[in-house]
Amino acid sequence: MAIDPTEEAVFPNNFVECLAIVLPGIDEECTLQKRPLRGTDPNYSLGVFATLWTPNEDSYEIGNLGGGIQPGPNEPTLSTYQIGIQVLVKDSDASRALAVSSLLNRRVRSVLYRNTDLRLALAGLYTTEGSVTERLTRWGIRSQRYMSNDIEGTFVFISVLDMFIETEVG
């Protein structure tokens, strides 16, 4: 079976796609990359990408898919994915870079918590493969880390927001 890259995105990439549509709206100067950011990316860059998949070890059920007992390992019914969201600000003035970085980070969190269109899109997010459907059941923010450095006279501020999404297969 050949993999068709034009097929519909599945978890966690469909979640990343939803964020990629909404997040650039936080500022007209922001550019978005669907990958971790690099130091060479433009100022006011956002990066959105998946970082981890964890099956829920307590959610394995015998014959949970397709009815009846299946040979071999069974798929977990519950999974957690981790999504990273980065904000990059570069400026020759440290106080301005800090202020802009703080503002953009607050706007990202605000969109994730309050954007009605995003909440509606995520509430209905699912993928289907054969007779198996995976649905988004819950999402949230775990933490946000901040880093800064002076690189050749330019102050670089970068943050990494760690989101989680939980899905259920049924």
The residues, any chain, with a CB within 8 Å of residue 143's CB and separated by 6 or more, are: 161, 162
In a domain, 64, yes or no: no
Q: pLDDT 10s digit of each residue in the chain, 170 long?
A: 566 666 678 999 999 999 999 999 999 999 999 999 998 999 999 999 999 999 987 766 555 555 555 555 677 889 999 999 999 999 999 999 999 999 999 999 999 999 999 999 999 999 998 888 999 999 999 999 999 999 888 999 999 999 999 999 98
Number of residues that this document lists for the chain: 170
Identify the pLDDT of residue 7.
66
Distance, CA of 85 to CA of 16 (rounded, Å): 9
In a domain, 6, yes or no: no
Strand bridging mode 154-169 / 78-91? antiparallel
In a domain, 120, yes or no: yes
In a domain, 79, yes or no: yes
In a domain, 96, yes or no: yes
Identify the pLDDT of residue 72.
56
* Helical segments of the chain, H only: 13-22, 94-114, 116-123
- Measured CA angle at 109 (ends 104, 111), to 5 deg: 95
The domain spanning residue 132 has which CATH number?
3.30.70.1700
Identify the pLDDT of residue 73.
61
How many other C-beta atoms are found inside a 10 Å radius of the C-beta of residue 93?
A: 11
Identify the pLDDT of residue 30.
96
Identify the pLDDT of residue 163.
98
Instruction: Say what angle helices 13-22 and 116-123 make with each other, to 10 degrees.
Output: 160
In a domain, 8, yes or no: no
How many other C-beta atoms are found inside a 10 Å radius of the C-beta of residue 41?
A: 18
Domain housing 86: 13-57+74-169
Tally of domains within the chain:
1
